[in-house]
Structure 1
Amino acid sequence: MEQPAAGGVMASIALYYPWMHFQDTDWLKLALLSWERVVRLRPRTVDDRDSEVVREIRGESDLLREITPSRRDLETVADAFFEILGYEDLARELNVLRLQTADPTLRVAEDFSPPPSQRLREPGHHPALLWIYCGGTGTKMSFALRRQLIEAGLAVQVDEHDPWVGLHPRLGTVYLTALADTVARHNTLSPVTDDPGMHHAVGALDRLADLIDLPVTPALQDTRAAYAQLSLRAVIRPERIASVPVVRLVSFRQRYASELAAFHTHIGSLAAELEQIAAVENSEIAQAHLQALYERTTKPRLDELRRALRAFGVESTVGTLGLKVDLGAVSGTVLGTLAVSGGHPAMGAGAVALSVVPYIAGRLKARQLQRTQSPVAYLLAAEQMSRRSRLGIRV
């Protein structure tokens, strides 16, 4: 079975899973600052239940893309499921008919109930089941696997024309996670989710039996994706991102596209450490390791960039540009002579301007060079953007 690529630069395109609609708009706003694209497995024929924020991001940016699994994707996942369908206890534990005859409000502790935006409202679709779209060209399951699941009592269909197949939530979430893992492998994508209770997608295809046997527990998503989010949250407080209009985030995203690419390269350079963290089973400890890695690697570079920019004597403050002129650096110029003479009034203002402008231009150019060469310049820009937005300054 194929293995995900290790090391190298992180994929700059994310795959959202397991649902078709985003659950956390603040998470999506950060995703707008984290990824070149975010794709989701959402057939165009299903109902649009996106929030207004999601629709605004769809209309104002090129962030979101919608794809459907390929035949190869579906067959890869089906082959993996065929290997475990022979387990004797599987049909008894995850029988959908047993679940349908139970209380409609039934929520077994170890099962993950789909969020409201993912539940079907049509008659006949039992609310305790997880319904997966299997209609037309946008199907998320192969015909062969769907037929075998139904025959084994592990799936149910209202009638032969119904494009939805209902599964026990435990089995359904495992299937969707394995599908995300497969699509990500085949298309060099980074699986990401805004659902903290979801399975870890990376490697899910190789551990189906374990995932079905164990209850759903919070798991750290792709460590590279998690690290990008952690870094942005370190410079943009969660309460700030909620107040930043989408149009400003889109403008920032377009302006700093090259800096974002450099930041992805920086995260890729931490691949060895991130792979070790990915092996940590406890999600809280894994988060602590990510935080420690940030404090040890990325934060010092960010602090160094701030110091370097201050050293150029041109400091960006909120709403103003402050200039601190180094007299030693301008000695021998008209400006230097003016300073040494104590600002003699005989010195014309035009002559001073002719000396000051090239000096400042040179400092600004050096400052910009320092900034563009830093792999963490994107974080500094994001920090400044959030501060200006908080004070109502247009960016």
Structure 2
Amino acid sequence: MLQRIGLYYPYVNFRDEQWLKTAALYWPQLARIVPDRFPVTDSDTARALTAELDFVVPVEPSSSALGVSSVFLDVIAAYADDLRQRYGWAVAEPQPPGRAYLHWGEVAPDVREALFAADLAVPSRGTRFSEPGVDDWVGMDPALVWVYKCALSEEVARRGDFVPTTDQAAAHAASHGWDAERVADALLDRTSELREPREALSGDLADVVGMLAVRIVVPEELDAVPVGKIVELRRRHKDEFDTFNREVTAAAADLREHLADVTLPTAIDRYVSMEVGRRFERPLEELRRAMRGLGIDTAFSAANLKFAVPATLAGMAGGVYAGPLVSTATGVTFALAGLARTATGERQALRASSPSAYLLSVEKGLETRSLVRRVCRRIPGAGGDIA
């Protein structure tokens, strides 16, 4: 089963650093719509994820803009007067308050001309990103921009087989089925009697399942975790990540099939939460218990030592080259080493068999304070304060 790639929308520049770090823990890659000559202003986090993991992938939107052009041309032709009353602009005003902008490359030429002719948009260079003397932007009412970007993002996702994902809750609630009727409904506040609401299933389930699974182990102070830790996790645990990602994809496919006719949001939320618990949360707790059972404490049990000391080492107790105490200690040392190797092998086998092993790695790898430091904070005179 192919891994899925997320598609960030409706913006180009990421708005939520914590969301981006979380997304990097469950998406193999994250595409975003970047028109030619768009002035990207990435944060250090976004730049590091791109440079180190090739995580952020730009997608040029011109062909997809052509794909949604007929939808918007139909809506403008049918409802130009109604739209103008709601969203029309005084063209003579150079930069009216509240205007939002689409980049020139995001809108097909015939749609731009139709918007200009209907007084729904104006060509603009009035942004801080504009090049002198170049109309790089289409100024419109924010509601028009929002609907257009959601429709364009859905078309890009369809053409690229991407999964739409966003840090903007309002966009998640409006990411399904942008045909002419749906666009008109959204812009004119209409509710079609023939269209059954499907908001509960908006946002692909692969995104929902992945986010919920990762949040089981992501620390609340993720914004304080250096992005380098996330890069290191992804590099060191590639196989575990792949196993985890396959399980996310499989869970989303099963949920999509079984919830195809379910429209109650509460029911969908419950089913998704139950499936995440069954596939990830409970196996993670079982893996934690199993790993603790193979910890170093087992090496010091008398029963383990009694049966683990090799016969050849036990026979050395009265040997010529070592006294009983030394040789016994040597035997115990070799026995402990053997137990450590056995436990390590069993731990590796456990991790290899569990889709939740990656979550365990995330849990350990993103701890903002080491175990030693946490313990020291609780011991007087150990170099730390008492918690």
TM-score (norm 2): 0.77
Matched, 1:384 2:375: no
What is the CA–CA distance in structure 2 between the aligned matches of 1:294 and 1:50, rounded to whole Å? 32
Residue 221 of structure 2 aligns to which amino acid in structure 1? R
What is the CA–CA distance in structure 2 between the aligned matches of 1:393 and 1:154, rounded to whole Å? 62
What is the CA–CA distance in structure 2 between the aligned matches of 1:392 and 1:304, rounded to whole Å? 21
Decide which of 79, 82, 93 is 2:70's aligned counterpart. 79
Distance 1:189 1:375, change over 3 A: same
Matched, 1:259 2:240: yes
Distance 1:211 1:148, change over 3 A: same
Structure number with greater Rg is 2
Matched, 1:38 2:30: yes
1:212 is matched with 187
- The CA deviation at 1:368 is 0.4
**Secondary structure in structure 1 of the residue aligned to 2:32:** strand
1:351 is matched with 331
Residue 63 of structure 1 aligns to which amino acid in structure 2? F
Decide which of 214, 229, 237 is 2:211's aligned counterpart. 229
Residue 18 of structure 2 aligns to which amino acid in structure 1? D
What is the CA–CA distance in structure 2 between the aligned matches of 1:322 and 1:226, rounded to whole Å? 39
**Secondary structure in structure 2 of the residue aligned to 1:183:** helix
Matched, 1:97 2:67: no
Q: Per-residue displacement from partner, 1:117-175 (whole Å, max 9, x unpaired)? A: xxxxxx934342221111xxxx1111122112222222221489412112222221111
Q: Per-residue displacement from partner, 1:90-126 (whole Å, max 9, x unpaired)? A: 433443316x89xxxxxxxxxxxxxxxxxxxxx9343
TM-score (norm 1): 0.75
What is the CA–CA distance in structure 2 between the aligned matches of 1:281 and 1:86, rounded to whole Å? 33
Residues 18, 222 of structure 2: 8 Å contact kept: yes
Indicate the percent of aligned positions where both proteins have the same amino acid: 28
- The CA deviation at 1:245 is 0.9
1:143 is matched with 109
**Secondary structure in structure 1 of the residue aligned to 2:331:** helix
Decide which of 121, 133, 139 is 1:155's aligned counterpart. 121
Residues 29, 246 of structure 1: 8 Å contact kept: yes
Residues 18, 173 of structure 1: 8 Å contact kept: yes
What is the CA–CA distance in structure 2 between the aligned matches of 1:308 and 1:228, rounded to whole Å? 24
**Secondary structure in structure 2 of the residue aligned to 1:235:** coil
Distance 1:331 1:352, change over 3 A: closer
Residues 243, 390 of structure 1: 8 Å contact kept: no
- The CA deviation at 1:392 is 8.0
Matched, 1:334 2:300: no
What is the CA–CA distance in structure 2 between the aligned matches of 1:299 and 1:227, rounded to whole Å? 12
Decide which of 341, 345, 351 is 1:365's aligned counterpart. 345
Structure 2: runs of 5 or more not aligned: 126-132, 191-198, 318-323, 374-387
What is the CA–CA distance in structure 2 between the aligned matches of 1:283 and 1:162, rounded to whole Å? 44
What is the CA–CA distance in structure 2 between the aligned matches of 1:61 and 1:147, rounded to whole Å? 40
- Matched positions, count: 346
Q: Per-residue displacement from partner, 1:199-224 (whole Å, max 9, x unpaired)? A: 54653334333333449xx9753222
- The CA deviation at 1:345 is 2.4
**Secondary structure in structure 1 of the residue aligned to 2:7:** strand
Distance 1:225 1:82, change over 3 A: same
Distance 1:199 1:377, change over 3 A: closer
